Amino acid sequence: MHPEIQVDVRRGGSSRGIADARRNHADIGMVSRELSPAEQDLIAITIARDGIAVIVHRDNPITSLTNNQIAAIYTGDIRDWRDVGGAS
């Protein structure tokens, strides 16, 4: 890294990254989501993507899920493992 560059990673999520950039507390704000309509005055440039893993208990017989099934679980459309081939 360049000796005149300082990288300070702070916790607080996307809202903190946006707030710090807006208040000039940071030159770059880390955000892991799309900007909301109220945040469109900022410029978003994707420089990396997060890796996400779906993990289940070892006793759960599910061995795979489709992207659509995972989305349905997180939106609440699927609420029981039997809906994706598991036990309830």
Domain edges within the chain: 1-49, 52-88
pTM of the model: 0.55
Question: Which pLDDT value is given to residue 45?
Answer: 93
Tell me 2's DSSP state: -
Contact at 8 Å (CB) between 32 and 51? Answer: no
Could you tell me what percent of the chain has a pLDDT over 70? 100
pLDDT for 19-61, tens place per residue?
A: 999 999 999 999 999 999 999 999 999 988 888 888 888 888 8
Q: Is the pLDDT of residue 7 over 90?
A: no
Question: Which pLDDT value is given to residue 9?
Answer: 85
Q: What 3-state class would DSSP assign to 14?
A: helix
CB atoms within 10 A of CB 78: 17
